[in-house]
């Protein structure tokens, strides 16, 4: 049943429709999260290699190496770095050497430069972009400030939680809020904390909030398109247009809302534990 839910989730379907290599990256990252803390030495080592493969294909999964810092495992972090460097650089020996590597870096820069500033991304930046598009008001730098604060808080607070699903969710939200072109397909990484959350004992209103969040982002709800489109200049100098979908807008608001919610949720838990440790009654 869990596998079927993966297959019909919005980000997964989006990746399949686009034929995005992120599906391979996601699979490698999922293996790492499942086995990095396993009792088997062999499985743990393969998990490190899988994270290196994911990081070599798309650099941003490397953020999950923070999970090893949670376990105070420095040597495995070094091994992941070595594996990633080897997998990233060795192919260029057979593909033209340093010249090809330089061309690759230039192509990456060209792609980044072709992206529009007015794109609904799956993070707080997407929220500010939506507000700017529909209101016509320029919110200069507000998205960068909020995004930076959220990323810093999410990563810092990940060291203060013990539930594995919540740690993975904090890091995943930091990834989404910190990545400049976090489009809908990036939401596939939310399947990782969701899978862990499903098998966690759930109680209280907080769990209901997290459940609603996962449903909003992961469920392929048909919400239609807005009567506006985003224009951008491609790497080839062509002007192209992307229609705005209400699903992407709602998902951006949901990711931002749950990022703020989990920050207050973890801070509240920390304060309650400190007060309980001092013998102060908590209502």
**pLDDT value of residue 103:** 75
Collapsing DSSP to helix, strand or coil, 228 comes out as strand
pLDDT digits (tens, 9 = 90+) for 74-123: 899 999 999 999 998 888 877 776 677 777 776 666 554 444 456 778 88
283 lies in some domain? no
* Residue 258 Ramachandran class (φ > 0 left, ψ -120 to 50 alpha, else beta): alpha
**Cα–chain-centroid distance for residue 209?**
19
Mean pLDDT over 233-261 rounds to 77
**Number of compact structural domains in the chain:** 1
pLDDT digits (tens, 9 = 90+) for 161-172: 989 999 999 999
List, as own/partner pairs, every contact residues 166-171 make where C-beta atoms lie below 8 angstroms and the sequence separation is at least 24, other chains included: 166/193, 166/262, 166/266, 167/67, 167/70, 168/33, 168/64, 168/67, 168/192, 168/193, 168/196, 169/193, 169/197, 169/210, 169/262, 170/262, 170/266, 171/63, 171/64, 171/66, 171/67
36 lies in some domain? yes
What is the enclosing helix (H) or strand (E) of 244? strand 239-245
**pLDDT value of residue 73:** 83
**Residue 209, Cβ neighbours under 10 Å: how many?**
15
**pLDDT value of residue 245:** 76
157 lies in some domain? yes
Could you tell me whether strands 225-233 and 239-245 are parallel, antiparallel, or unpaired per DSSP bridges?
A: antiparallel
128 lies in some domain? yes
265 lies in some domain? yes
Q: Is the pLDDT of residue 281 over 60?
A: no
202 lies in some domain? yes
Contacting residues for 73 by C-beta, under 8 A, at least 6 apart: none
User: For residues 222 and 231, is the Cβ–Cβ distance under 8 A?
Assistant: no
Distance, CA of 216 to CA of 199 (rounded, Å): 19
The rounded mean pLDDT for the chain is 83
**pLDDT value of residue 114:** 47
**pLDDT value of residue 264:** 94
Distance, CA of 262 to CA of 190 (rounded, Å): 14
User: For residues 170 and 266, is the Cβ–Cβ distance under 8 A?
Assistant: yes
pLDDT band at 196 (very low <50, low <70, confident <90, very high): very high
pLDDT digits (tens, 9 = 90+) for 27-84: 999 999 999 999 999 999 999 999 999 999 988 999 999 999 988 888 999 999 999 9
User: For residues 53 and 215, is the Cβ–Cβ distance under 8 A?
Assistant: no
pLDDT digits (tens, 9 = 90+) for 203-242: 778 888 998 999 888 888 766 666 665 655 555 666 666 6
Choice between 201 and 34, residue whose per-residue pLDDT is larger: 34
Domain span at residue 168 reads: 2-277
Q: Quick one: tokens of 79? A: 């091994």
**pLDDT value of residue 94:** 76
pLDDT digits (tens, 9 = 90+) for 1-37: 666 777 778 888 888 888 888 999 999 999 999 999 9
Question: pTM of the entire structure?
Answer: 0.86
Distance, CA of 28 to CA of 52 (rounded, Å): 9
Q: Quick one: tokens of 269? A: 């838990």
**pLDDT value of residue 8:** 78
**pLDDT value of residue 61:** 93
282 lies in some domain? no
Distance, CA of 247 to CA of 224 (rounded, Å): 7
Q: Is the pLDDT of residue 142 over 60?
A: yes
């Amino acid at each position: 049943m869990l596998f079927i839910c993966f297959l019909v989730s919005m980000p997964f379907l989006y990746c399949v429709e686009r034929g995005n290599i992120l599906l391979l990256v996601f699979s490698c990252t999922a293996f790492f999260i499942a086995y990095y803390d396993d009792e088997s030495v062999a499985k743990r080592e393969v998990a490190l290699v899988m994270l290196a493969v994911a990081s070599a294909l798309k650099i941003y999964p490397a953020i999950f190496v923070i999970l090893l810092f949670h376990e105070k495992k420095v040597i495995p972090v070094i091994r992941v770095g070595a594996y990633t460097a080897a997998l990233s650089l060795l192919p260029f020996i057979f593909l033209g050497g340093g010249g090809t590597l330089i061309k690759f870096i230039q192509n990456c820069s060209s792609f980044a430069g072709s992206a529009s500033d007015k794109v609904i991304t799956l993070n707080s930046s997407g929220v500010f972009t939506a507000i700017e598009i529909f209101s016509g008001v320029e919110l200069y730098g507000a998205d960068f400030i909020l995004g930076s604060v959220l990323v810093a808080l999410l990563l810092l607070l990940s060291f203060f939680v013990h539930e594995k699903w919540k740690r993975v969710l904090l890091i995943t939200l930091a990834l989404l809020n910190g990545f400049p072109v976090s489009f809908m397909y990036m939401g596939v990484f939310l399947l990782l904390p969701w899978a862990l959350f499903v098998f966690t004992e759930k109680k209280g209103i907080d769990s209901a909030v997290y459940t609603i969040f996962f449903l909003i982002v992961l469920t392929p709800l048909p919400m239609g398109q807005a009567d506006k489109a985003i224009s951008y200049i491609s790497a080839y100098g062509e002007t192209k247009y992307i229609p705005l979908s209400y699903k992407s807008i709602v998902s951006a608001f949901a990711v931002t809302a749950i990022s703020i919610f989990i920050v207050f949720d973890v801070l509240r838990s920390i304060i309650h534990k400190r007060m309980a440790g001092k013998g102060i009654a908590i209502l």
